[in-house]
Structure 1
Amino acid sequence: MDIDGFWALIERSAVLADAPDDRLEWLTDRLAELPAAEITDFSVRLDELRRRADTHHLWGAAYRICGGLCSDDGFFYFQAWLVGLGREVFERVVRDPDELVEVPAVRRLAGRSSGDWDDDEWPDWEGLDYVADAAYERVTGGPDGLDAVLERDGHDLLLSPEPTDDDFDPRDRAQAVARYPRLAELFPLSPARL
């Protein structure tokens, strides 16, 4: 599966299902209709996209949107959520994380406490990490086979964020305004998070 095939599946899932869990079910079912090699390719493509989104610059934007609640796991699931928004949004946001202010799902969160967000509103999509595994198990009949195949083929599994760009303190107001002027305005951090 090439990158175009990957994006076609992700974007089609958004058209055919509204809820994140329904999208995951649809993706798992579609992947399970493919040969095992295509499923491993899907997993590799997801890792490749995560690596492109795995920056302190984007992590700081996620931290701001989530009101300071963006751990390693939170950012890892944020990356999957960003992929779930589709190719055009992903490319725009990876180039400039301040572009997140143009995403309707992000705008709906502005001005609201994260404690008031519904589970489906959180900018995370942890379940995307498991669709290839579930589909691979269906096709091959064996659990944990996908990771073993990926490792055997020399694919370095990405299990958590590992940004390589320059780190910074996302709580530093001056840096946040310089990096994300629109996000900083839309999502000011509460004094408790500074």
Structure 2
Amino acid sequence: MDREEFWAIVEEAREVVGDTVSAESAEAVAQRVTARLVELGPSAAVEFERVFDAVNGEAYRTDLWAAAYLMLGGCSDDGFDYFRGWLLAQGRAVWEGAVAAPDSLADLGLDPDDDEIQCEDFLSVASDAYSAATGDEEAFWTAVHDNGTRPESGTNDPAGEDFDFDDEDQMRVRLPRLAAIYLDD
């Protein structure tokens, strides 16, 4: 599976769900992706996971984490994972825009009081699909690791310059549009 096929599966799920900005609708996208991977079979789930790891790893960036921190009113390691799950459910255009320029998330028009823009379920769509198809989640992880391409999670710092997310002046400089929405004047 390549990135085009990966994003086609996500976009197909989004079309069925419609508006995907709420946490509930992002979870619905994750459920649709899981169902589609079940239909495609265990090997598709393994390949989806491999592409997911690459795509998700590219978003493991300090500037995007800072955007999540603003939008969520704080953001732990796990919270940033769940935020990226939600971001995947927004589709390729939003994902790529946010990775390139996190401040572009201001264009989504989200309610600044909605701090539930997370989707933990998206992180396990491939393993859930594999388990549903085979009944053996352990075999999924063995298959994903077999070609040695799965990076170890949690071993690296996020890409980009580290800075204090609690420094409102820094946030206003680095993410001016999001800061205008999410920081009190």
Give the alignment's TM-score, normalised by structure 2. 0.87
The change in CA–CA distance for 1:151 and 1:82 in structure 2 (over 3 A counts) is same
Post-superposition CA distance 1:104-163 (Å, at most 9, x none): 3xx22x2x3xxxx4xxx7111110112111211233332222111112221334545841
Q: Does 1:102 align with 2:107?
A: yes
Give the whole-Å Cα distance in 1 for the aligned partners of 2:149 and 2:183: 39
Contact 2:127 2:140 in 1 (8 A): yes
1:142 to 131, 136, 149: 136
**One-letter amino acid of the counterpart of residue 67, structure 2:** A
Contact 1:47 1:158 in 2 (8 A): no
Aligned twin of 1:54: 60
Aligned twin of 1:169: 164
Aligned twin of 1:124: 118
Q: Does 1:179 align with 2:174?
A: yes
| Shift, 1:189, TM fit | 5.7
**One-letter amino acid of the counterpart of residue 42, structure 1:** F
Q: Does 1:156 align with 2:150?
A: yes
Give the whole-Å Cα distance in 1 for the aligned partners of 2:132 and 2:102: 37
Contact 1:28 1:132 in 2 (8 A): yes
Give the whole-Å Cα distance in 1 for the aligned partners of 2:184 and 2:10: 32
Gaps of 5+ in 1: none
Give the whole-Å Cα distance in 2 for the aligned partners of 1:96 and 1:153: 32
Gaps of 5+ in 2: 19-24
Structure 1 window deviating more from structure 2 (22-31 vs 159-168): it is: 159-168
| Shift, 1:25, TM fit | 2.5
Structure 1 window deviating more from structure 2 (151-160 vs 127-136): it is: 151-160
2:39 aligned counterpart, secondary structure: coil
Give the whole-Å Cα distance in 1 for the aligned partners of 2:184 and 2:71: 9
1:127 aligned counterpart, secondary structure: helix
Give the whole-Å Cα distance in 1 for the aligned partners of 2:43 and 2:157: 26
| % same residue | 32
Q: What's the RMSD between the two structures over aligned residues?
A: 2.0
Give the alignment's TM-score, normalised by structure 1. 0.83
Q: Does 1:32 align with 2:26?
A: no
| Shift, 1:174, TM fit | 2.0
1:65 to 71, 74, 77: 71
Aligned twin of 2:8: 8
Contact 1:49 1:83 in 2 (8 A): no
